[in-house]
Structure 1
Amino acid sequence: MTDTMIAIIGGSGIYEIDGLEDAKWQSVDSPFGTPSDQILTGTLDGVKMAFLPRHGRGHVHSPTSVPYRANIDALKRLGVTDIVSVSAVGSFREEMAPGDFVIVDQFIDRTFAREKSFFGPGLVAHVSVAHPTCPRLSDACETAARDQGINVHRDGTYLAMEGPQFSTLAESKMYRESWGADVIGMTNMPEAKLAREAEICYASVAMVTDYDSWHPDHGEVDVTQIIATLMGNADKARGMVARLPALLGADRAPCSYGCDRALEHAILTAPEKRDPAMVEKLSAVAGRVLG
């Protein structure tokens, strides 16, 4: 058993955890750069918690400039075992209406201007992201959301686009009709991939704010409308987060889906060929298997 530590990575509209005890903002150094912001830590119902504003307080990072590697590395250094991503999305499905939440289980990664791995020359690894989210953690998020009275949908596919612009109408129709995506956002990739490399369980809670641009009755995305829906979603999200400690508990057994052992057979570089500088850089992310 280890201590559970839940991290909430808050997207647009989510900037705090209600009821956090012994709360303090702290800076965490990472060899992958400076995280988006300081990290808020404390306890909630006896469970360790951390909160990281993905875009920084005041929304200073675009989806492309978010320092994803530094963020995940910093959370790993704090002892985080479980990450819940909370982010705003557009919907490709009539039934996934603005104000609803979607528990994501799959991604289509269309980003192209971001560093997507902790590994590289001198220390090569390949992890499986066939199932990029943790079902155990997703179950807890679904239960917490339903207990909060949120209309929640399970098992959606998230199309991650580079942004910062919203989709063209042609793209929106393609993603919805040909590719089978359910929601669209700009921030869960490479975040989910990096969490897997860092052996941290990851769940994605997508908060629907709009219908993207495909919907004939809604037209193009309106930022004013999105912000209004965001505020309501943020209140719901904080209520959901408040229920997670009781569901996950303070003591944590190994993940039954193996998220916390993703690097077990992933590193291919022979020990004698590993770059010492890379080994040091990955001391938090991969220290368990590098020794």
Structure 2
Amino acid sequence: MIQAKIGIIGGSGLYQMDALTDVQEVQVDTPFGKPSDAYIVGKLAGVPVAFLARHGRNHHLIPSELPYRANIYGMKQLGVEYIISASAVGSLKAEVKPLDMVIPDQFIDRTRQRISTFFGQGIVAHISFGHPVCHQLSAILAEAVESLNLPEIALHKGGTYVCMEGPAFSTIAESNLYRSWDASIIGMTNLPEAKLAREAEIAYATLALVTDYDCWHPDHDHVTVEMIIDNLHCNAINAQKVILETVKRLKEKSPISEAHSALKYAILTPLDKIPSEAREKLALILEKYL
């Protein structure tokens, strides 16, 4: 199977990477079913990367339907060690403006219908998740944004991403609650990805792209669908520039992340007591410990 060290997950508005060369579509089967779409494997700046449209290229999957485990396990099958996750988000702070970029360092889980672990069914593991993103990968992502000097776009380093269930957006009461928690942005997808990437020992960082203010903002009701689509389009263009620059920097220096050994002390079930079915299902994740 084709191998790529860097994985890219594209969110709403980002369904392809225009700068990819030597492109091939790779269909992957996983023990957790089919991923959201075929992986688009090619080269950015001469570096092999695997791109996945999170909601499918036709945006046919709501956040609760996403095959999170298959998406991350498929990345692992392709040899991915770093995932850059681009995501459309709403802003919970006045200073975080539409079209701004946020590289969050914390998450709050408000989902109810997601399976966010590979474990269970005879094998128990508890990963450390106090710092849910890779700080080295996040730092490289931030350096890439800053080096581009994108006009009229502010970068916010750090902040909390509230991951809600969806697909409906927040009520005003919920939005104000999240603001009282000092959260910066709100989205529907990244926390399950971050948890599963950590279990798969893949470094993970989010590039959050602000489309609009969440409904707490007094001007929210004046936002039109056309305005949001325009912002998604602008965000997708800028995200591709940032991802390309990040890949160039990862080519020069690929940091060893704490995520790369996340399972070292996390597995509580004695290895010789793991049921054969679970051992086989998670072979790719467990192989260096078995």
TM-score, with normalisation over the residues of structure 2? 0.94
2:186 alignment partner in structure 1: 184
The aligned amino acid for 2:107 is F
> Could you tell me which of 153, 165, 168 is aligned with 1:165?
168
Identity %: 50
In the alignment, the residues of structure 1 paired with residue 171 and residue 224 of structure 2 have an alpha-carbon distance, to the nearest angstrom, of: 13
In the alignment, the residues of structure 1 paired with residue 86 and residue 61 of structure 2 have an alpha-carbon distance, to the nearest angstrom, of: 16
Give structure 1 stretches of 5+ with no counterpart.
none
The aligned amino acid for 2:68 is Y
Confirm or deny: 8 A CA contact 2:5 2:49 kept in the other structure.
yes
In the alignment, the residues of structure 2 paired with residue 88 and residue 118 of structure 1 have an alpha-carbon distance, to the nearest angstrom, of: 26
Residue-by-residue CA offset, 1:168-215 (whole Å, 9 max, x unaligned): 0000000012x1111000010211000000000000111001111001
1:229 alignment partner in structure 2: 231
> Could you tell me which of 173, 177, 180 is aligned with 1:174?
177
Give structure 2 stretches of 5+ with no counterpart.
none
In the alignment, the residues of structure 2 paired with residue 210 and residue 162 of structure 1 have an alpha-carbon distance, to the nearest angstrom, of: 18
Residue-by-residue CA offset, 1:71-125 (whole Å, 9 max, x unaligned): 0000000000100110000001111100000001100011110111000021110
2:11 alignment partner in structure 1: 11
Confirm or deny: 8 A CA contact 2:4 2:41 kept in the other structure.
no
2:89 alignment partner in structure 1: 89
Confirm or deny: 8 A CA contact 1:166 1:221 kept in the other structure.
no
Confirm or deny: 8 A CA contact 2:4 2:78 kept in the other structure.
no
1:136 alignment partner in structure 2: 136
Displacement of 1:225: 2.6
Confirm or deny: 8 A CA contact 1:18 1:242 kept in the other structure.
no
Confirm or deny: 8 A CA contact 1:4 1:249 kept in the other structure.
no
Confirm or deny: 8 A CA contact 1:213 1:220 kept in the other structure.
no
Confirm or deny: 8 A CA contact 1:48 1:250 kept in the other structure.
no
In the alignment, the residues of structure 1 paired with residue 166 and residue 222 of structure 2 have an alpha-carbon distance, to the nearest angstrom, of: 15
TM-score, with normalisation over the residues of structure 1? 0.94
Q: How many residues align?
A: 285
Confirm or deny: 8 A CA contact 2:4 2:50 kept in the other structure.
no
Pairing 1:104–2:107 present: no
Displacement of 1:250: 6.1
CA RMSD of aligned residues (A): 1.5
SS of structure 2 residue aligned to 1:22: strand
